Amino acid sequence: MNGLGLTLLVALGAALVLGAVAHRLRLPPMLGYIAAGMVVGPFTPGFVADREEVLALADIGVAL
């Protein structure tokens, strides 16, 4: 799997898991999605996504 596909898979997986955790804690799932963005984003330690790939995904998200 190429870098962009892997980044997308990890980002969506993190959003799914953290959204479910937030829902389980009786918080809005949006907080889980925001937390996933903070974890997967290029400016935080942990899973370090390629900055260019994340920006490409952001542009796709804005276009949709």
Give the range of the structural domain holding residue 52, as residue numbers without chain letter: 3-63
The tokens describing 30, both together, are 């949006």
Return d(Cα 40, Cα 6) in angstroms, integer. 12
14-45 confidence digits (pLDDT tens): 999 999 999 999 999 999 999 988 887 767 66
Report how many domains make up the chain. Answer: 1
- pTM, 2 dp: 0.71
Return d(Cα 52, Cα 60) in angstroms, integer. 12
